[in-house]
Each structure stands twice: as C-alpha cells, then as structure tokens.
C-alpha cells in the first residue's frame, strides 16, 4: 500500500513538473514583437498643404537711361505664400531620402517711385511675384519621431514688372510710356527642414528655403513712334522662404513581429 502511495505521488509530481516546463517553453517560444524602424513613420507617398512668409529681393536694371539713369534698382519686401505639396520617401531604418514637388501662390508686390519730389514726373517700377513651383530631392536622419533633412533642386517663378513714366506740363506736354514683362523664370532652390510624425498617417513640418532665379534681359519698344525708342532692362530675383506644412502619408504599415 505504501509503495502504491509513493509511486502515485511521484507520478503526480512528474506530471506537474512536465506541465510547468511545457508552459515555460511555450512562453519562450512566443514571437517577440519588435519596434518598427524609426524611418517607417515617414516612408511612402504623401500629400499636404503649406503656408508661410517670403523675404523677396527684386533687382531691376535700366541699361539705356530710359527711366532716369543707367542704374539698378533693388526692391525688397515681405510677402506671404500658400500652396500644396506631394512627394515620396524611401529609406533605411534611420535615414530617409525622397522627392517632392510643390506649388504656391505668392503675394509679392513691390513698387519703386523714381524722382518722387518732382512735380511733373511720375516714374515707377512695379514688380509682382505671384507663383512658385519647386521640384526637389530630400535626404535626412530620423531620430525618434523627428526627421531632420536637407533639400535642393530646381524652382520656377512667375513675375510681372511694369515700367511706367508720365511727364506732364498742363496745357503743353502730356506723354506716357510703359512696358510690361510677364514671364516664368527658372532658378535653384535649397534649404533645411524638420518634420515630426503625429500618429500613424500625419506629419507636421517646418522648413527654410533659399531660391535664386536666373537673370533675364529684355530689349523692348519703350517709346512708340517712327523711329521707335528702344530700352533694355535686366531682371533678377531671389528670396528666403520660411513655411510650415501638414502632410498625410498613404499606406502606413503595422508593426512587424519577429520569431
């Protein structure tokens, strides 16, 4: 009888020990969830909107002394811009590289009045900048939920300039001469920025860009007549841009488990 009780006890202990060992092995064999790479928060395609401020410098050069003197007139002003962007990011676990295109409406207006104290002359250079488009590459480092990046590429801007002179002596002379330029000009854009992941699909970013547009020359009929009067002007533009934006990222993935 004692042997039976002893053997039964050993059997129960063995069964319990085996069950505990099996449970322990099951726990150890369970897949271990791994945090996704930091760059996963920014990979993929995205669209967004942006807005900010522009510090614009316009250079207008009268080469033939048509306005007053053969001189360059520098116009500086602040403006606003608002627009949208789209892009795609690739990357490794902690780095991102991608491409982006954007288009913005710009509220740039600058006016220079020459000889403002003379009573019979009204001479103005009025410049407008109303559109900006860029196509740029981006590359950066992801730290936690923040992407720090550099960017550079090409830019195009739409500019309009009006050169206007009005000379009047009441009862004797009243002459007006005007010329308008309306053109898209190419340039280069470069800058830096930071972007933060806000949950699964949304990101918030801020960036600073410098854009410089190629100088252009114009030879125009400034004074109609026989023979007409010709004038030559040079125009160049540059700007510092600071803006913030919000992006929506497509195709956000789930955390991948490792076995």
Does the pLDDT at position 4 exceed 70? no
Does the pLDDT at position 2 exceed 70? no
Lowest mean pLDDT among 12-16, 39-43, 100-104, 182-186: 12-16
- Model pLDDT for residues 9-62, shown as the tens digit of each residue: 433 334 344 444 444 444 444 444 445 789 999 999 999 999 999 999 999 988
> Comparing 169 with 259, which gets the higher pLDDT?
169
pLDDT at residue number 254: 41
Q: Give 193's pLDDT tier (boundaries 50, 70, 90).
A: very high
pLDDT at residue number 217: 83
pLDDT at residue number 121: 77
- Model pLDDT for residues 150-173, shown as the tens digit of each residue: 999 999 999 999 988 777 776 677
Does the pLDDT at position 106 exceed 80? yes
Residues 6+ apart with CB under 8 A from 80: 51, 52, 53, 54, 106, 107
Give dist(CA 207, CA 148) in Å, integer. Answer: 10
The structural domains of the chain, with segments of one domain joined by +, span 39-258
Give dist(CA 113, CA 164) in Å, integer. Answer: 10
How confident is the model over 93-106, as a mean pLDDT? 96
Q: Which of 155, 53, 38, 171 is nearest to 101 (CA)?
A: 155
Range list of β-strands (E), 115-228: 121-143, 146-169, 173-198, 202-223
Whole-model pTM over 0.75: yes
| DSSP sequence for 129-161 | EEEEEEEEEEEEEEETTEEEEEEEEEEEEEEEE
CATH, domain 39-258, list 2.40.30.200, 3.40.1190.20, 3.40.50.410, 2.40.160.20: 2.40.160.20
> Comparing 228 with 253, which gets the higher pLDDT?
228
User: Residue 220 burial (CB < 10 Å; 0-12/13-18/19+)?
Assistant: middle
pLDDT at residue number 18: 46
- Model pLDDT for residues 195-209, shown as the tens digit of each residue: 999 988 999 999 999
Q: For the beta carbon of residue 94, count every other beta carbon within 10 angstroms.
A: 13
């Amino acid at each position: 009888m004692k042997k039976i009780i002893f053997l039964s006890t050993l059997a129960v202990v063995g069964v319990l020990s085996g069950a505990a060992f099996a449970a322990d092995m099951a726990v150890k064999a369970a897949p271990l969830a791994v945090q996704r790479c930091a760059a996963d928060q920014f990979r993929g395609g995205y669209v967004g909107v942006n807005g900010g401020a522009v510090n614009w410098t316009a250079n207008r050069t009268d080469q033939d002394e048509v306005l007053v003197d053969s001189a360059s007139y520098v116009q500086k002003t602040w403006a606003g811009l608002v627009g949208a962007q789209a892009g795609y990011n690739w990357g490794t676990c902690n780095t991102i590289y991608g491409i982006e295109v954007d288009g913005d409406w710009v509220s740039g207006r600058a006016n220079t009045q020459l000889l403002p104290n003379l009573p019979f002359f009204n001479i103005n250079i009025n410049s407008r900048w109303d559109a900006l488009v860029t196509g740029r590459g981006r590359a950066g480092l992801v730290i936690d939920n923040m992407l720090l990046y550099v960017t550079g590429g090409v830019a195009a801007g739409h500019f309009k300039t009006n050169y206007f002179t009005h000379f009047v002596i009441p009862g004797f002379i009243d002459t007006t001469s005007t010329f308008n330029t309306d053109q898209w000009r190419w340039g280069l854009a470069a800058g830096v920025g930071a972007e933060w992941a806000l949950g699964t699909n949304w990101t918030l970013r801020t960036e600073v860009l410098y854009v410089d547009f190629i100088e252009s020359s114009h030879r125009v009929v400034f004074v109609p007549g026989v023979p007409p009067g010709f004038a030559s002007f040079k125009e160049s533009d540059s700007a510092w841009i600071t803006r913030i934006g919000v992006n929506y990222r497509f195709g956000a993935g789930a955390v991948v488990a490792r076995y």
